């Protein structure tokens, strides 16, 4: 029955059937063979599940290309080998957390067992916890590394894990590629030390929860405002994820007394039964929260993803309707609020900084320039922001930062995007606006009036399979060979190529170098076009999906609040002209 499998796939199937694997796994494989399900069999075994620069992610199930005890075990054994080699002669420890997904607790315990079997001390959270708390725990406990078992906001059939280093940030160069090399050396299930040593595994919970909550609470810049606006009407949903463990607790610790949880989504559940996708970037995932917010006439609605590193938020607009703010808008509002608060408190000395990714709105750069605060731009991925924080530790003070994909960070005690701390600061800045008789949306419009109305849109083109991958490569090659001279009627004045690390001035034809080794920057397949009228387009093939993404940013002055709707319509039309001009439909 397996004759239609190619030789390498067949070899992997045979290895599992004949190797030291458990009986249930072998029965599952035999069932696929007996039922003639060649498609599923092929997808499960045609390759080894890739351990990428951030860790593992894949569909749950039996096989070399699935998330299971053997693929997770091989990855963890390789990581154990690397950690032991990287810290010779030291007492090594790691911290482990997991989210609410199917098999997450089991994988977390498995990973703990393997680390302990390799002579490594393990701090294992006793139950599910948010990703940012894992980052905090690494620093709090002085660990050399850490793991969080999660597949972020992927569909229910996925799981994975992310690897962190001793600074609390996700692994970056040179460790990322060196870990991949070690993992690739684990070629047999017999190489994996499955038998844990219980004395090396310590359960943790409140001893990390309490100091983490205190640190988040210390981010508050206007506690008196919170006292006056303690009754701020907040609706929150964890979308069946880990946020339920800490978001209500943090809001309560800050003094907010009128927080309503979406009960249908309050219980952690890896099947995410009330949503198609547990992604707060999608309105559908927040619909139950919006319904409750309308019913209760709430001031603010917030939703966190399953591992609570991203947050979506909405507030009533000037028409009285709930409007969800996108990642660029919320990142900008957080930085706008913090810059003003730091200035009012006399804390801006010229040695403060903000960090964001190159595809995130330039409104943040503009505001930082106005306040004399450095703004560092990194490649896409919060690990690069964490790298900047690490490099500048003791030299400059981090205020906050973020990325357009709904991830933000306030303060440096966590080194990854933090939806718990973000919910706290979003509630505070909403309270601050209300204290002045305004709404969060009023604050957004005031920010645009002061700095320009920046509007961003993401165009994501899906190109599946081998032909799709080739088409994406060709699109990037064509843009490099023939960059547009103008876009939507405005001349292109700069082209940044992060693959070659070069910057082109089209008016002179001269190129300069984007410094290699600059904080948060390394060669990456990203192109950016800047036009005379302030439009910016970033082209970036996805590293995890069969997609090419185009980030479009346009800007116009906002003369008054009354002009908001007309200006918004102009900006949307401008984005559509860009899309038409570059054939991105």
Give catalytic residues, as residue numbers: 152
Tell me the three state secondary structure of residue 149.
strand
Give the HSE-up count for residue 357: Cα atoms under 13 Å, Cβ half-sphere.
26
Degrees to nearest 5, angle at CA 101 with 266 and 422: 55
* Plot region of 399 (φ>0 → left; ψ -120 to 50 → alpha; else → beta): alpha
Helices of type H across 87-145? 104-117, 131-141
What residues does 303 pair with on adjacent strands?
237, 312
- The β-bridge partners of 164 are 146, 170
Cα dist. 406→231, 310, 357, 521 in Å?
Answer: 26, 5, 12, 21
d(CA 212, CA 216): 6
- Residue 134: CB atoms within 10 A of its CB come to 29
Work out whether strand 259-261 and strand 234-237 pair parallel, antiparallel, or are unpaired. parallel
Task: Decide if 83 contacts 179 (C-beta within 8 A).
Answer: no
Residue 187 CB contacts under 8 Å (≥ 6 apart), including other chains: none
Nearest in space to 148 (alpha carbons), one of 184, 179, 120, 111: 111
Half-sphere exposure of 486 (CA within 13 A, CB side): 7
Residue 173 CA to residue 522 CA, distance in Å, equals 9
For residue 137 the two structure tokens come to 């725990």
**Buried-state track 320-343, b at ≥16 Cβ within 10 A, e below 16:** eebbbbbbbbbbbbbbbbbbbbbe
DSSP of 490-538: EEEEEEEETTTTEEEETTTTEEEEPPTT-TT----S-EEEEETTS-EEE
Burial class (CB in 10 A: 0-12, 13-18, 19+), 177: exposed
458 DSSP assignment = E
């Amino acid at each position: 029955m397996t004759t239609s499998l190619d030789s390498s796939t067949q070899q992997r199937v045979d290895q599992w059937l004949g190797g030291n694997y458990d009986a249930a796994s072998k029965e599952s494989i035999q069932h696929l063979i007996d039922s003639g399900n060649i498609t599923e069999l092929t997808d499960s075994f045609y390759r080894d599940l890739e351990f990428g620069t951030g860790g593992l992610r894949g569909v749950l199930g039996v096989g070399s290309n699935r998330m299971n005890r053997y693929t997770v075990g091989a990855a963890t054994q390789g990581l154990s080998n690397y950690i032991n080699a990287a810290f010779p002669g030291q007492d090594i420890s790691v911290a482990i957390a997991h989210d609410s997904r199917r098999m997450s607790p089991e994988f977390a315990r498995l990973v703990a067992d393997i680390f302990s079997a390799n002579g490594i001390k393990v701090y294992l959270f006793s139950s599910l916890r948010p990703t940012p708390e894992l980052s905090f725990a690494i620093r709090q406990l002085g660990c050399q590394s850490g793991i969080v078992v999660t597949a972020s906001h992927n569909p229910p059939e996925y799981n994975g894990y992310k690897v962190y280093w001793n600074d609390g940030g996700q692994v970056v160069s040179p460790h990322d590629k060196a870990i991949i090399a070690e993992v690739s050396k684990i070629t047999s299930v017999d190489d994996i030390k499955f038998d844990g040593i219980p004395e090396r595994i310590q359960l943790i919970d409140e001893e990390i929860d309490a100091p983490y909550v205190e640190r988040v609470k210390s981010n508050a810049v206007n506690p008196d405002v919170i006292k006056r606006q303690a009754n701020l009407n907040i609706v929150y949903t964890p979308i069946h994820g880990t946020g339920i463990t800490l978001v209500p607790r943090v809001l309560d610790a800050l003094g907010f007394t009128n927080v309503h949880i979406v009960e249908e989504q309050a219980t952690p559940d890896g099947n995410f039964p009330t949503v198609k996708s547990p992604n707060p970037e999608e309105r559908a995932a927040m619909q139950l929260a919006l319904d409750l917010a309308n019913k209760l006439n709430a001031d603010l609605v917030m939703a966190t993803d399953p591992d609570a590193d991203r947050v979506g938020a909405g507030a009533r607009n000037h028409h009285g309707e709930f409007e969800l703010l996108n990642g660029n808008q919320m990142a900008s509002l957080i930085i706008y609020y913090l810059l003003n608060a730091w200035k009012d408190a006399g804390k801006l000395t010229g040695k403060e900084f903000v960090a964001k990714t190159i595809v995130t709105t330039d409104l943040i750069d503009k505001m930082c320039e106005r306040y004399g605060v450095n703004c560092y731009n990194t490649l896409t991925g919060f690990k690069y922001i964490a790298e900047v924080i690490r490099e500048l530790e003791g030299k400059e003070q981090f205020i906050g930062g973020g990325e357009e994909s709904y991830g933000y960070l306030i303060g440096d005690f966590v080194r990854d995007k933090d939806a718990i701390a973000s919910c706290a600061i979003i509630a505070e800045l909403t309270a601050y606006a209300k204290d002045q008789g305004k709404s969060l949306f009023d604050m957004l419009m005031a920010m645009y009036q002061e700095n320009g109305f920046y509007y961003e849109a993401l165009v994501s083109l899906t190109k599946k399979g081998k032909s799709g991958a080739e088409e994406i490569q060709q699109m990037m090659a064509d843009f490099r060979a023939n960059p547009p001279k103008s876009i939507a009627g405005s001349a292109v004045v700069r082209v940044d190529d992060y693959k070659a690390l070069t910057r082109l001035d089209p008016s002179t034809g001269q190129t300069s170098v984007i410094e290699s080794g600059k904080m948060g920057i390394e060669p990456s397949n990203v192109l950016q076009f800047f036009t005379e009228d302030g439009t910016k387009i970033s082209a970036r093939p996805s590293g995890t999906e069969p997609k090419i993404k185009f980030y479009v940013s346009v800007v116009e002055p906002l003369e008054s609040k009354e002009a908001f709707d007309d200006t918004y319509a102009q900006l949307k039309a401008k984005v559509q002209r860009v899309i038409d001009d570059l054939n991105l439909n």
